[in-house]
Amino acid sequence: MANIINNKLECFMLYLLTLSYMLSDRFVDGRSIGAAKLVKHKGTIKTIETEDGDIIDCVDFYQQPAFDHPLLKNHIIQMKPSSIPSDLKANPSEPDQLFQNWHKSGQCPEATIPIRRPQGNQRPRDLYHFKQRRARLNQSLDSASDGDDLSAHEYATTYLGGNFHGAHATINVWQPTVANDGEMSIGQIWVVAGPDDKVNTMEAGWRVDYDQRSKLFVYWTSDGYQSTGCHNLECPGFVQTNKKVALGSPIGDISSYNAKQTNIGITIYKNNGNWWLEVNDQPVGYWPSSLFTYLANSATELTWGGEIYNSKIGGVHTKTQMGSGHFPNEGYGKASYFRNIQYVDSNGLFNDVEPEDLTPDATKPSCYNINLQSDISGGSGTNFYFGGPGYSDMCLK
């Protein structure tokens, strides 16, 4: 009789241990999520696992990372912009906020924001991006204090100098091949101010890493990419207000060669002292001006275009693609593009950028290039095609 009781007790204890394990962070809805995904964000109310294995934590709005920043301890929260600058070229063909696949697996409740859990090798490398600024100043591209090889960054961009309160573009979304771990391919907007060693930037667009998925991202720095700033919500800074957009999460629909094209509208503009980000005309959140020194008031340079990182394995050029992986001369449906390029002036009005005011900059035109155009009557405004395949007979190193 005693043996039977002991056996039942052991079975019950084993059941409790199993149940406890199943309810731990190792499982979502009873499914194993692996050791690489165990770090739950502070303030998580709900957790969603996507069809492709990503983990989204729905975090209490007031416990998001931004409010851990020492400069934001007494920050007055702005839940939405008080107004949107007029004459913005809207994105009528892309009105849906639910452009990311994680929504198929669940929704975040009110008063929370979605934060994607970085998963081991999927964490973006904080590369020192804005290298072409040094190239234009004829400074050395051989090395940087952070150990990053500056000459390995290659660009096909166009930039505008002046005094600005924002920028906009409709960006064609692709999923270019990233050939090697540690490399990346990006299509984005830079909003910039300050000298190179102390540069302030806000950046937003799409990014593909070695996991070969195109993801919405933001980035910021206030000290030349040295010790401040990060991607997405991986450090305190960016204040997210939208519960339907997960920064760093894959974009659902991707453009296909000579077939359907997918765009996202990216807009950054200043409102009530903060720099707001909109995606497809929907406010996502903002960078408080208190994070910055040179960007506290206005930007002095805007840049639109593509960037890749070339690790030069074996001394040859990477096969990592930029844009669609095809050169600009192939045109619509084949080459990636930016459309309706605009800036916000000091009066808070959006203005179309005149093509003759832009300066194109392709660091290696035989590998990746850019082609500026204007189509005011056709609805594309000032626009450009950009990109390329990387390694080829014309791009060996």
The DSSP secondary structure of 131-198, one letter per residue, reads THHHHHTT---S--TTS--GGGEEEEEEEEEEEESEEEEEEE-------STT--EEEEEEEEES-GGG
Residue entry with tokens 């910039």: 192
Q: What tokens appear for 180 in the block?
A: 């090697």
- Burial (CB < 10 A; 0-12, 13-18, 19+), residue 335, is buried
Q: What angle do CA 281, 185, 205 make, to 5 degrees?
A: 15
49, 94, 301, 307: which is the annotated catalytic residue? 307
Beta strands 112-116 and 214-221: pairing type? unpaired
Residue 203 is a catalytic residue:
yes
| Neighbouring residues of 362: CB distance < 8 A, sequence distance ≥ 6 | 155, 156, 157, 368, 369, 370
203, 234, 278, 301: which is the annotated catalytic residue? 203
Distance separating alpha carbons of residues 32 and 229, to the nearest angstrom: 32
The residue type found at 24 is S
Residue 183 is a catalytic residue:
no
Could you give the residue numbers annotated as active site?
A: 203, 307
